[in-house]
């Protein structure tokens, strides 16, 4: 394989989700997915591309493809905009006047909620863990650009952040004399609608894998609130396709992420069909020093992928999944589902943590010019 070759799983139909929907045997699930898919509020430019990573495959000695959900095309991309297409439809049905959500200071989810709200003409309130920095960078800069109101709470405890969010909703309702209808979007958008959105994404991925004869490939991705993984598991089970899905726990918000994924799939019963039982696989050895913190392995993986393929990941979410791509437990072809998060790369903290060893590879301009 030379550096020039990059086979692409071209999409043969414009809407692979609707195309594959008739293959879902469970009539009730099929009908509900079809209706929810039709009624979503379009934010993304999907289907996203899928292509081989020739140089990175050579480095790892295994076939690695990438599914570009960093290119979902809304608010700087990522997995959350797929979820928000269905969640926003729920919120607008409830005649919401604002979206309220929670996240870490550099939350990709909060940034996408901010953009979805403004696109829908309603307000966004973001409860963010940590102190307000003296100048916004990365996702925080985008939160501001999208006109969201940020509320900082000085810890990253998810239970207390959710309590703050509920209090804020109550306050907004009271202040507005009942004319305000805040809509609470839980962390990561991992509601049943968010899960269903990634079940639909699985159909899209499956169609692309089918085109290159790789339906047995293992999908590896960063997992934290579990909604993306639950959706992929649900999509595979509904389609009767192999569920070779590995969530790389990058947050350890939940002590048992596999159990949380199972529960999220089971909870989709509230949508009106009988969800199948799933058995999720989670790798939990790639967290490093903790949630929202870079690890040596993630920094190295991020640099290798960038220099091999010109593809950007971020050190706290997606690069931890990239680090897992060489895990000896994985066999056969792999698809790295790139879930976005690139703006976090431009946060001041990420720049400060970027290791000197990577930086030192830059050559002086004069030396570079001598090569021509
Ligand atoms: C870039 C990125 N990748 C992956 C995830 C994990 O997705 P989920 O919360 O659905 O597990 C997140 C969640 O915040 C994220 O921001």
Q: Which neighbouring-strand residues pair with 220?
A: 246, 336
Check whether the bond before 223 is cis (ω within 30° of 0).
no
pLDDT at site 364: 41
CA distance 100 to 114: 9
Q: Which domains does the chain have, with CATH numbers?
A: 16-78+191-359 (3.40.50.1100), 80-188 (3.40.50.1100)
Residue 169 · residue 123 · CB < 8 Å: no
Express as a percent the part of the chain with pLDDT over 70: 94
Q: How confident is the model over 133-138, as a mean pLDDT?
A: 92
Ligand 1 atom closest to residue 344's alpha carbon, by position in its atom list: 1
C-alpha distances (whole Å) from 186 to each of 60, 190, 198 are: 37, 7, 16
Residue 209 · residue 333 · CB < 8 Å: no
Q: What is the pLDDT of residues 152-186, one digit of tens each?
A: 998 778 888 999 999 999 999 998 777 899 999 99
pLDDT at site 371: 32
DSSP strand pairing (245-249 vs 218-223): parallel
From atom 3 of ligand 1, which residue's Cα is the shortest distance away? 339
Mean pLDDT for the chain overall: 92
Among 291, 351, 344, which residue's Cα sits nearest to residue 314?
344
Ligand 1 atom closest to residue 247's alpha carbon, by position in its atom list: 11
Active site residue 107: yes
Q: What is the pLDDT of residues 29-62, one digit of tens each?
A: 999 999 999 999 999 999 999 999 999 999 999 9
pLDDT at site 353: 78
pLDDT of 366 above 80: no
Cβ–ligand 1 distance for 218 under 6 Å, the answer no
Q: Which neighbouring-strand residues pair with 128?
A: 103, 152
CA distance 298 to 86: 31
pLDDT at site 368: 35
Question: What residues have CB less than 8 Å from 329, skipping those under 6 apart?
Answer: 283
pLDDT of 327 above 50: yes
pLDDT of 148 above 80: yes
pLDDT band at 234 (very low <50, low <70, confident <90, very high): very high
pLDDT band at 361 (very low <50, low <70, confident <90, very high): low
CA distance 148 to 140: 10
What's the gap between Cα 299 and its chain centre?
19
Cβ–ligand 1 distance for 79 under 6 Å, the answer yes
Helix axes 227-239, 257-267, angle to 10 degrees: 60
Strand order in the sheet with 149-153: 149-153, 123-129, 98-104, 182-185
SS3 of 281-324: EEECCCCCCCCCCCCHHHHHHHHHHHHHHCCCCCCCCHHHHHHH
Among 192, 173, 179, which residue's Cα sits nearest to residue 231?
192
Catalytic member of 81, 98, 107, 298: 107
Express as a percent the part of the chain with pLDDT over 90: 81
């Amino acid at each position: 394989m030379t550096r020039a070759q990059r086979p692409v799983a071209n999409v043969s139909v414009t809407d692979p989700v609707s195309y594959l929907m008739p293959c879902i045997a469970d009539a009730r699930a099929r009908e509900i997915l079809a209706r929810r898919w039709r009624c979503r509020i379009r934010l993304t430019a999907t289907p996203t591309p899928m292509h081989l990573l020739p140089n990175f495959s050579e480095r790892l000695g295994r076939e690695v493809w990438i599914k570009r959900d960093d290119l979902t095309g809304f608010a700087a991309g990522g997995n959350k905009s797929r979820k928000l297409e269905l969640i926003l439809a729920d919120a607008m049905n409830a005649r919401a006047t604002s979206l309220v959500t929670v996240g870490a200071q550099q939350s990709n989810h909060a940034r996408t909620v901010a953009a979805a709200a403004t696109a829908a003409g309603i307000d966004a309130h973001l409860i963010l863990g940590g102190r307000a920095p003296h100048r916004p960078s990365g996702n925080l800069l985008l939160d501001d650009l999208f006109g969201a109101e940020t509320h900082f709470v000085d810890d990253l405890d998810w239970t207390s952040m959710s309590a703050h969010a509920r209090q804020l909703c109550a306050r907004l309702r009271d202040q507005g004399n009942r004319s305000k209808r805040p809509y609470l979007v839980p962390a990561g958008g991992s509601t049943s609608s968010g899960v269903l959105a990634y079940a639909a994404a699985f159909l899209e991925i499956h169609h692309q894998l089918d085109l290159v004869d790789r339906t047995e490939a293992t999908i590896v991705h960063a997992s934290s609130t579990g909604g993306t993984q639950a959706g992929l598991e649900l999509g595979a089970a509904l389609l009767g396709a192999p569920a070779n899905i590995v969530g790389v726990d990058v947050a350890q918000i939940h002590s048992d992420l596999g159990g949380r994924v199972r529960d999220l799939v089971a909870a989709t019963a509230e949508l009106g069909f009988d969800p199948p039982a799933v058995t999720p696989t989670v790798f939990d050895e790639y967290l490093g020093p903790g949630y929202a913190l870079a690890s040596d392995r993630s920094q190295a993986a991020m640099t290798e992928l960038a220099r091999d393929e010109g593809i950007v990941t971020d050190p706290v979410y997606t690069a931890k999944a990239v680090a897992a791509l060489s895990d000896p437990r994985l066999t056969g072809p792999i698809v790295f589902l790139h879930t976005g998060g690139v703006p976090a790369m431009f946060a001041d903290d990420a720049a400060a943590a970027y290791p000197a060893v990577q930086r030192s590879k830059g050559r002086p301009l004069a030396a570079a010019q001598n090569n021509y």
